[in-house]
Structure 1
Amino acid sequence: MISQAITPRELDRRREQLVDLQRYLADQEREYAELRRRVQGFIDRYVATLGPLYMELDALESQLYCAMRYLHEALARNGLDTRGPDSPKATAMPQLLVLPAGAPLPPEPEGGLIQVGPPPLKTLYRRAAKRLHPDLAPDDAERGRRERKMAEVNEAYATSDRARLESLLLAAGESMVKVRGGDADAVMEWLRSTERAVQGRLRVVQAHIALLTNHQMHALGESVERAEKKGLDPLGIMANRLRAQITERRQELYIGQRLQPESSLTEAFLRQREQRLGGGLSAARAP
């Protein structure tokens, strides 16, 4: 029986709200997928164009670190206190977070949402006839059994004996929900819990859309696209800047690997490099 506090109209309204919410969630997930596809597409271009140059620059920085470390330690042994070089850090290539898979929705109550209240007596009679009609019997023995059962069905229907008709249907294999109706309270609770699950998923999807929208590669990608429409080549310019840095590091490495710790040029070289990196060389002669 439908709970007096829950009307069929209210159930229908909540079902429609749930369908609308799920439709909106699907739209948001499609928006996320399309946005991620665009941003990831630009990241792939960015990495393909600049990734090898960054790797080469990182390798040179590692070699420079070893050379500078050697000079620093050699100067320290000679009584000159210098600031040691900072350990190099590999350039991190941009990556996107992956939207986690959504949790499965709560299972629907038995019988789903098709029939909530108990069906009318006439519906029960028709269902009994479909299950027990003698013409559906595969043999004479079964036909005789069905004829006896149908006689009971006809009598129960004629006397409006709902309990007996339900009992005959259940014995014939009909589901409890189709015979006695669903639980409106259970259906409403399913609707509420499903709404909460869909809303939770929606918040996760929208949070990832916001992360993508605010991602630095999204802004950079849009800037690059606008520049390219004007005939410019911003990725090419960035690549040329990296090549210039690579050339500079190669020159520094060439000098650093050939300097002798006893040379007066060594301290000046370290000082110049520290200033370029934004630091300073703290030097004090030991007494």
Structure 2
Amino acid sequence: MNANSPAQASDEPGTERLEKAVRAAETALIEYEIAVETFRVEVENFSRLHHQRLGPVYARLDELDARIAEAIAARTGDPEDIRRADEKRGAVLPMPKVEELFFGWIDSTGMLPEAQAMLNEQPVSPPSRVRPGEEARRAYRDLVRKAHPDLAQDEAERERREAFLVRVNKAYADGDAPALAALAEEWEAGPLPGPVAELLRGEELYARLEWLAQRKEMLARTAAELEESAIGAMLKLAPDDPDALLEEIAEQLLGQVAERERELARLSEQEQGEQA
């Protein structure tokens, strides 16, 4: 009998325990990948919605700051106040000739989110909310658990699963529950995975565990980068309802706008009083 045959492999000491350890590690890794990917989608969606909904408010704040600085500079004539006013106005003015050449792609803050989305092959239309609905979340988790490439037994099956999950990830990023439901039906109707060997040799199992550990380290680095980003840090402030956080930020910004407008009105009244 061949020394590498399944029957012989089943007699190797500890092989059954290794097999269970590999299966447990695979399951844990898939769950971790799901958690990292769902957080990545929320970070991306929050960033795009933040720019879409609050960009005009930030622009209004910048304009008010420039006008306040200009009013102070006109009143004092101080060189430092004039320099500060020029600096504030420069932050508001568009980049000369650049916006004309790249209309719809670039503004004074850099590349627009929709242009970035197209270059990265992401959905062009902004998402409706930061966190996809619960139905979409359940469907996404179930599909990833069933179709994850790490469960493939050969390279062709892995490639099929990877291509399928690209579509799953896009539907989830869009919060498209009907598309996820259609993908679930497609997966159930598709070809079944090839037969699984009864047991792998001990050397193969150890190699598999090592690969899973390396994959886990890579995901941990990705998760840390997401959590340490500005948007990730903001999301951690409202883990249960990130969409409500946008409304809270908008309310705070509108309060700042009202405060700036009152300050500008006060300066204008002072100037008129001094001229009278």
Q: TM-score range by the shorter chain?
A: 0.3 to 0.5
TM-score for the superposition, normalised by structure 2: 0.41
Structure number with greater CO (CA < 8 Å, separation at least 6) is 1
Provide the TM-score with structure 1 as the length reference. Answer: 0.39
Write 1 or 2 for the structure with the bigger share of helix. Answer: 2
Structure with bigger gyration radius: 1
